[in-house]
Copies of this chain bind each other. A is one copy, B any other.
Amino acid sequence: MKEYSKLASEILDRIRCHRPVVHSITNYVVMNSTANVLLAMGASPIMAHAPEEIEDIMVISNSMVINIGTLSKHWIESMQLAARIAKITKKPFVLDPVGAGATKLRTQTACDIIKASVPTVIRGNASEILALSPQGGTTRGVDSVHTVEDALDAAKTIARSLGTVIAVTGEKDLVTDGENSLVVTGGHCLMSYVTGTGCAASVIVGAFLAEEKDPVTAAASRSRGSTSKALPPDRSNVMPSRWKTVS
């Protein structure tokens, strides 16, 4: 197995050195906190949703994150435009399908963006990933009512059928390209009591994608980014992330 801990550190060094521009079209709730997460990692965040500037933004950005947490009609159009440009320009991007399964609009918007351009990584909680699987699934809101393990089969199926990487995050993370699956431990049960920890995970994957071509490595590295950057310093000492393959 790859030495993910070492790889993650190396990618983080490249991020700090190159300061990649990470473009986010994201929800109002987490704009401030995810901008701070990106800055703390050494990346340069830019938040922009006007269709008139999406193309210019894509030229200067090294990766992109689309997060559907607070939707409206015009924002959906911008997200689809950004996804189409990402496809043409081969720019890596993360889709965070916040609340997929909670409302038809959210499930449909996530599916439409995937149709416009297959994301490099789809990062969601277990309920959201289940909602995107062929079997579908519903959830109560934006908080997961399923465990990461519940979503293992669905994540593999989606990854294989779309040719993408799925990252299901929670107290532990699952990363899969459909063939190879990793579980990364080192999270904390209290994370679900702070808003935007999932959204933060998505932008961290976005920053890693700007400097790492392999999306499994980029997505698996996010735990390193979280523990060393987004959580209090003592956290990484007491419970370091561990990567292990699962079948």
Stretch of A2-10, A97-105, A161-169, A218-226 with 4 or more beta carbons under 8 angstroms from chain B: A97-105
Residues of the B chain whose Cβ atoms lie less than 8 Å from the Cβ of A27? 47
In Å, the complex CA distance between A61 and B140 comes to 8
A30 to B74 CA separation, bound complex (whole angstroms): 22
Q: How many copies does the complex hold?
A: 3
Q: Does A53 contact B (CB under 8 A)?
A: yes
CA distance A141 to B29 in the complex (A): 22
Q: CB distance B105 to A142 under 8 Å?
A: no
Q: What residues on B are CB-neighbors of A52 within 8 Å?
A: 73, 105
Contacts of A58-95 to chain B: CB distance below 8 A = 60-61, 69-74
Which of B33, B45, B73, B142 contacts A44, CB < 8 Å?
B142
B194, A39: Cβ atoms under 8 Å? yes
- Which residues on B sit within 8 Å (CB–CB) of A31? 28-29, 70
**Given A44-B143, A102-B56, A141-B44, A39 and B193 contact (CB-CB distance below 8 Å):** yes
* A35 on interface, CB distance cutoff 8 Å: yes
Quick one: closest B residue to A61, CB to CB?
B141
Residues of chain B lying within 8 A (CB to CB) of residue A53? 71, 103-106
Contact B19 A50 (CB under 8 A): no
Known: A35-B29, A195-B35. A69 touches B47 (CB 8 A): yes
In the bound complex, CA of A193 to CA of B52 (Å): 28
Q: Does A239 contact B (CB under 8 A)?
A: no
Instruction: Report A's interface with B, CB cutoff 8 A.
Output: 19, 21, 27-33, 35-36, 39-40, 44-50, 52-53, 56-57, 60-61, 69-74, 99, 102-106, 140-143, 192-196
